[in-house]
A = this chain, B = another copy of it.
Amino acid sequence: MLNPIWLKTFVTLVDTGHFTQAAEKLFMTQPGVSQHINKLEKACGHLLITRGKKSFVITEQGRLVYRYAKSLERNEEALIEQLAFDDPYSGECTLACSGSVALMLYPKLLEEQVKHPNIIIKMKAAPYHQILSDIKKGTVDQGIVTDIPNKIYFETKVLGEEELCLVVPSRVDTNVNKATLLMNLGLILHPDAKHYLSLFIAKNYKTELGQLNINSLPVVGFINQINQILEPIANGIGFTVLPKSAVDSFHNKQGLQVIKPDNTVIETLYLVTQKNRVLPARFETLNKVIDSAWK
């Protein structure tokens, strides 16, 4: 490994052209300089200078190492400067959430990135457990989920609420027994479908759906692209449960029919971060936008 102190000595040596002068400049003794150069040459595996009796000439390798040392110095300075300066309008922000939240949130975040081009938004649509494991690993800074995770590892803050919609094809007659209706249609599966459906059933149609086993429902499709989940339903195939925002943004709404339930089903959204992790200033900028999305 190339010790930066040796590199600095080498740079000074090359700049001054004299071992003695370099030593003076560095407040050390001349043999010290000699030793640094020897060690650096050993570490590099190449002679960095060609020694004459009283003078030296830098080798090609020496030139390369000299340039490297200079750039190292600059890089290190830049790093130290960066460490002290927590810019609220620059840096990477990685967040993960469900596809439907992403669908609604990402455009708003992009507006912010347009305002402050040095903020870089990285959005990952993922299922619940992956969001949590990514936050725990630290590969994702923040997540938005619909369940409160383990308080030992995560910090949680309520963001807002979203209405869940049971969506069926527009042609279907909904004035029938709901269990029969859904069994006949079959489920269009997506990453959060079963979770949403169970929330929905827990609050509605208990008498009709009470004994319905979600896992025994026929599955008539699967898609994990949020903007395509409603496609089969608009074509008359299956049903699903989705947040209202996802339904609203669908391009072909006349193909759909949202069943108005007796009790509105609300899921709470939580902003989740790693426990004890202090996020940099740019997340305040970001979270203003996220907060306002549910206001």
Contacts and interface: CB of A to CB of B under 8 A. Distances in A.
A248 interface: no
A84 B274 contact: no
A3 B46 CA distance: 22
A48 to B, nearest CB: 9
A293 interface: no
A107 interface: no
Given A57-B274, A60-B278, A276-B52, A2 B84 contact: no
A4 B44 CA distance: 15
Tell me the number of copies of this protein.
Answer: 2
B2 A3 contact: no
B44 A138 contact: no
B86 A60 contact: yes
A57 B1 contact: no
Contacts of A46: 83-84
Nearest to A280: B60
A57 B4 contact: no
A277 interface: yes
Interface stretch (A72-80, A117-125, A167-175, A262-270): A72-80
A76 B59 CA distance: 18
A220 interface: no
A72 to B, nearest CB: 8
Contacts of A45: 80, 83-84
A9 to B, nearest CB: 12
A61 B46 CA distance: 35
A46 B85 CA distance: 11
Contact of A5 (B1, B50, B79, B280): B1
Interface in A49-94: 50, 52, 57-61, 63-65, 68, 71-72, 75-76, 79-80, 82-84, 86
Contacts of A64: 79, 82-83
B276 A44 contact: no
Interface of A: 1-5, 8, 44-46, 50, 52, 57-61, 63-65, 68, 71-72, 75-76, 79-80, 82-84, 86, 138, 274-280
Given A50-B277, A50-B278, 8 more contacts: A3-B3, A50-B276, A57-B274, A57-B277, A59-B277, A61-B83, A68-B75, A72-B72
